[in-house]
Amino acid sequence: MRYFELFGLAPSYQLDLAKLNQHYLELQRAVHPDKFAGGSERDKLLAVQKTAEINDAFATLKHPVKRAEYMLSEQGVDIRAEQQTLQDPMFLMEQMELREALAEIRDAADPEAAAADLEDQIKTLDVRYSAQLGTLLGSNDAAQLEQAADHIRKLKFVYKLREELARIEDSLFD
């Protein structure tokens, strides 16, 4: 099953999430298992399977990193389960500095300001690595696809850092 086709959308990294959500709800209404409650066991099973497929496709397309990984895999480069490390020393140094800033938030004189500053830095990185992905993922050129893969790997670091920051903020400010 091709996820973009399922939702009637053109393959694109820049996605209209409102349209995605609208198509998702339409598909769910059409195949929801409750509609087949009086049907045969086979019909019920097919409805459950189709619902699961729609949910998986929706979750993939909704999340920018998962969407990028999926688009890359559609081009024949599958990095979704890889454990490859990045070879970009500047990026790795930047990540070490960001991790240090993350670790220091709890002890900062103004933890809220420190968290806000780190969030701004994370947003900047997200924009930097996401900006070119649309063009790179639409290419058939192997070098550009490898560059897209590196951007995705970097975005994974960025998203993980954002999740860790959110956990720290939850523990400090809730």
Domains of the chain: 3-62 (1.10.287.110), 89-173 (1.20.1280)
- Segment 113-127 mean pLDDT: 95
- Segment 5-24 mean pLDDT: 94
The predicted structure's pLDDT at residue 126: 94
**Alpha carbons 166 and 156: distance in angstroms, whole number:** 15
Q: Inform me whether the pLDDT recorded for 85 exceeds 70.
A: no
**Alpha carbons 132 and 145: distance in angstroms, whole number:** 11
The predicted structure's pLDDT at residue 39: 77
Q: Inform me whether the pLDDT recorded for 162 exceeds 90.
A: yes
Indicate yes or no: pTM above 0.75.
yes
Which residue shows structure tokens 């990294």?
13
